Structure 1
């Protein structure tokens, strides 16, 4: 379970720089990209940023790591002097940070909280208890609410202000330039080119990623023409009738090196629901039964109303016998 949240964590400037709400905290050993040795620091996940303090009682952090440039989070299976310790590799756009949790259970919880504030979804790939999953669900809701209510210094242009014409390609994503780079780097097997809104809100852009001793990103502006269609704004502009032709033109110009980014979102395989225990109030996650639906009872086969049956045959024989009794045949001559 998480430690009690810190209510008043401050930045170097004092009360005017109070930090976002703390979702999870505890001691971690941290070694940044340029650090030669690990440091044991009290670590707080406040909002979508990790803040590091010298100890649990300090109110002013000494380092912070914003998670906006997140790329991946992986277990580090290398051995440690402390056999109970469990390592993590947190890869960001500007390098890797190695974190060491006290034990495996603590590492799973850290991963759960980190994924929850980064993806704004409860991760389904971790081994956690129902109560811990409920905690993560509450963190996701709080972080979503925090991001909706905070006032940005400059409102970014809405993707909806882009007047798209015609069918939209599947590789279109309503993301910023930075978010597009993170998506392409996190999912290299899903393609390396996506279409997104431009910064000015009146144009579009194509972001691409390729490997050349590391990730190489390129951004191309796509504008609409007054007479209809689109133009890829390069040195020799490339006119295209539709957005699909924009993507096809870039694939063709690069001999297939660039491929549309198609990320398949995972779907649940089972139906789950949460119930509360009336005695202790604890919430439990249940999986609905997967038995097939009962089949409707089969109707009896249709029969021709003129078809014979044993009872009908018997009635006919009785009727013929009665007819002969009442109307005997005349004697033969």
Structure 2
């Protein structure tokens, strides 16, 4: 089936993708794959999205072209004599692509190189109308990247989108705030997961005692193929964020333990009322007693034992690995706002920063 300029479709995940410049069937075989798969392929922005068929709205795989190295013809023969092969070299490996025919291969090369290099390649055998399409794609992609960079919020350690299950030891705090938390509540764990400084990665902050507090910070990056990597001298691959925490627990023989702290909740219902005569406002505590609207619900069975609501300070969990059970549904995108707890120790942070500045001057 020949490829064709893309037409936007609505519905499902496809509607949330960047603008689609080109699409059609390609056979794809990765470096670790033994056989090729025939997938409907869409070039959306500077990423290739792969679907099982042309009607699917949710992609099964994607390939970010930011790791692009080269794209060359593969002259090896295919069972289909009309098929034309390509070799796409990326920083993390080589991918074999097969287009239905020579014309489709030239078009794919044109669109891919135009998007990656933001320039129409001059070495391709294309018609004037096809070259005009590539020029339009270059202009659209330049505009998309420019508008994306302008609309992107500045990187902040307190704002990071996460996908998947999040361990309860995650806190949306900065590096200094993480150190303060671990030092302030030493009985509630000594390892905390947080956003990284660049806003695109994560970090693990740990605290141990050695003639005083000793802090360590480990960078955790998300891999393009899925999963995470602890960036140390010998990188540690992890399938989930839970595995990141469990790996550090195991590597330290349980010396590092996840930080679990419940933020306080009110024990009574209070409300403010205003005096109609003098306008004076008074804080009241609602009366106790059971509501008489109906029977109370029975307690749920099998409650997650890692849920913070079932922990009472200062008691903290005994050393053991985290369970992957979580009340958060997987693949849910979360935008994290600053924690209310971070606001409670502003002065403590200020003193810590001033101490660091003085130490730097000395």
TM bin, normalised by shorter chain, reads 0.3 to 0.5
| TM, length-normalised to structure 2 | 0.40
> Which of 1 and 2 has greater Rg?
1
| TM, length-normalised to structure 1 | 0.44
